[in-house]
Amino acid sequence: MEIQWHESLATGVDTIDNQHKEIFARISGLVNMDIENLDPEKKEVELHKVLRFLGGYVLDHFKTEEGFMTQYHYPDYDSHKKEHIEFLKSYSSLVRMFEKEGATDLIVTATQNQAVDWLVKHIKGTDQRLGAFLKSI
Ligand SMILES: [Fe+2]
Ligand SMILES: [Fe+2]
């Protein structure tokens, strides 16, 4: 699995795009990792690092977007925020799994999928719609 920020993910709002770029850069270590050929300690360290990052920076990033939405009275605030909450719920269950079982291949793969699939889908639809709205006002 590979992950890289690409122009097709741009929202057109620099603050948001720069944060998305940072997220991609920070999770790429885990996402691009070949779990079959990695020693367990490295897996544990990488996963822990990414989970901590997701719970911190990504939370702040959501707040940035939600701040824009409130400030400019974005009409789709509720549904956008709901997606952020869904992400945080899945994130919390990953953390609970990790705390209980450590960096099993299942958790590493689930985090990779969660991070990539959710983020790409959310950015390409929901965040880009927000970007288009912010640019239109
Ligand atoms: Fe968002
Ligand atoms: Fe976003």
For the CA of 16, the nearest ligand: 2
**Mean pLDDT, the chain cut into blocks of 10 residues (137 residues total):** 84 97 88 77 89 92 98 98 96 94 91 86 97 97
Overall fold of domain 14-27+39-136: Four Helix Bundle (Hemerythrin (Met), subunit A) (1.20.120)
Sign of CA dihedral 74, 16, 131, 4: negative
What pLDDT is recorded for position 1?
Answer: 60
pLDDT of residue 17: 97
Q: How far is the CA of 111 from the centre of ligand 1 (A)?
A: 18
Indicate the pTM of the whole model: 0.91
Burial of residue 54 (CB within 10 Å: 0-12, 13-18, 19+) is buried
Write the single-letter amino acid at 57. Answer: Y
Report the separation in Å between the CA atom of 69 and the middle of ligand 2, taken as the mean of its atom positions.
12
What secondary structure letter does DSSP report for 128? H
Which ligand is closest to the CA of 85, given by its number? 1
In order of 8, 47, 99, 104, the CA distances from 84 in angstroms are 21, 21, 22, 26
